[in-house]
Amino acid sequence: MSASTPHDGAFSNIMDPDHIPVLLKEVVSAINPRDGGIYVDGTFGAGGYSQALLEKSRCRVLGIDRDPEALDRGKPLVKQYKERLLLRRGRFSEMIEVLTDLGISQVDGIAFDLGVSSMQIDDRSRGFSFLRDGPLDMRMEKSGLSAADVINTMPEQELAEIIYKYGDERHSRRVAKAIVRSRKDRPFSRTIHLADVIRKEVKRAYDGLDPATRTFQALRIYVNDELGELERGLTCAERVLRSGGRLAVVCFHSLEDRIVKDFLKSRSKDKPRPSRHSPEPAASRFRPTFALVTKRSVVPTKLEVRTNPRARSARLRVGERTKAPALTALAGGVS
C-alpha cells in the first residue's frame, strides 16, 4: 500500500506495529477525512492516527508533538507522504500559531490522544515508568522542571495536594510525608528510589495496582501541565475547526475525560439568559458551537483490550463544529 492509494484497510499499515494507536478505527471514522481536507493530529506520537487519515483520503495532515523524539521518528512518514504530511514541534494548545505560520486559518478535523505514549513509558531514560529504573524526569518536552525537581523541593503540603488532586491517591499525605523524610538523607534522582519509598507506605490494591501508580501519574500530569494544556487545546480547536469539522479526543483517565465531557456539553447547549427582562450583553450571547456526535464516550472492544492492554481505560468523545462563532472569540480570545 502506498500513500497514493488510500483505502479502508489502512489500519494494518501503521508506522510502528509495536505501538498501536488506541481506538484507531473509531477515531478515523469519527473524523471522516475527505479528499482535499486539512486535519490536525495534535499528539503525533508514533504517527498512527496521521497515517490512517492520510490513507483514508487524499487529505493533508499537520502533526504536532511537544516531544522532539516523536518528530524524529516521524521523518520516514514525512518522506513517504511528501507534501501531504507536515510535522511541527509544539503543544497542541499552540496549534493556532502553528497553523497561522503555515497560512492556514481553518481545518476540517482534529484528533487528540492524551497522556503519555507507550514509547515514552518504554524508554527508561524518560523516567515515566516505576517499573524500570531511570532518571526521575517525566518531561515530555525535555525542558523545564523535572519530576525530581518537584519531589526534592516542593513543600510537603503542596506535594500532598498534587498527589491527591492529579493521582486520586487517598494516602497522599502519608506518601508526601515519606518523600520529604527520605529526601533529607538522599535526594531523589531515580524512578526506582521513589517507587520503593511509596511502596513502603502504601499497600498494593486488591486489583493488583502498583502502589506507585497514582503518585507517578500525578507527577507526570503536574510536570507537563497536562490538564491545563487540554483546556487550552479544546478552546483552540473550537476556534480553528470549520463548520462540520470534527474534534475527536481519546482520554485515559477520569480527570481528562471530565474536562472534555464538560467542554463539549457546555458548547452544545444554548446559554440561558438570567432574565428575559435583562438580556445578556451581545458579546456574551452565543449559539451552540458544537453538536455532540457521541453523547456517551466510545470505549474499546474486548478484542482491542486483549490485543492492546493500554486501551483498557480509553474513552473517546467526539464533537462536530457548528456555524456559530467560537465562544472564545466572542469573549475576546483564548482564556
Query: What's the CATH number where 100 sits?
Result: 3.40.50.150
Kindly state whether residues 217 and 255 are assigned to the same domain: no
Q: Are residues 194 and 258 in the same domain?
A: no
Listed residues 189, 223, 257: the one ending a domain: 223
Q: Please, what is the Cα angle at 126 between 149 and 63, to 5 degrees?
A: 110
**Chain centre distance of CA 190:** 25
Using the 3D structure, point to which of 168, 192, 223 is the last residue of a domain: 223
Q: Do 97 and 193 have their domain in common?
A: no
Question: Are 42 and 70 within one domain?
Answer: yes
Q: Where in the sequence is the domain holding 180, given as residue range(s)?
A: 142-223
268 and 291 Cβ atoms separated by less than 8 Å: yes
- Indicate whether 16 and 84 sit together in one domain: yes
pLDDT band at 19 (very low <50, low <70, confident <90, very high): low
Per-residue pLDDT of 204-236, as tens digits, reads 877 678 999 999 999 999 999 999 999 999 999
335 vs 46, which has greater pLDDT?
A: 46
Whether 107 and 238 map to the same domain: the answer is yes
Count up the domains in the chain and report the number: 2
- Of the listed ranges 10-19, 61-70, 230-239, 283-292, the one predicted with least confidence: 10-19
Pairing of strands 107-113, 241-251: parallel
Amino acid 206: pLDDT:
72
Question: Residue 113's beta-bridge partner residues?
Answer: 250
**pLDDT exceeds 50 at position 6:** no
Same domain, 26 and 101: yes
CA–CA separation, 134 and 19 (whole Å): 21
Q: Which of 216, 265, 12, 237 is nearest to 112 (CA)?
A: 237
Contacting residues for 50 by C-beta, under 8 A, at least 6 apart: 41, 44, 61, 63, 74, 77, 85
Residues 216, 254 share a domain: no
Q: Which CATH number is 189's domain given? A: 1.10.150.170
pLDDT tens column, 130-149: 888 999 999 988 888 999 99
Is residue 126, in this structure, part of any structural domain at all?
Answer: no
Q: 334: pLDDT confidence band, cut at 50, 70 and 90?
A: very low
Among 223, 252, 285, where does a domain finish?
223
Q: Is the pLDDT of residue 166 over 90?
A: yes
- Inform me whether the pLDDT recorded for 8 exceeds 50: no
Q: How confident is the model at residue 203 (pLDDT cuts 50, 70, 90)?
A: confident
Strand partners for 89? 65
Same domain, yes or no: 16 and 66: yes
99 and 244 assigned to the same domain: yes
Structure-block grid coordinates of residue 297? 464516550
67 in a structural domain: yes
Q: Are residues 177 and 232 in the same domain?
A: no
Query: Is residue 314 domain-resident?
Result: no
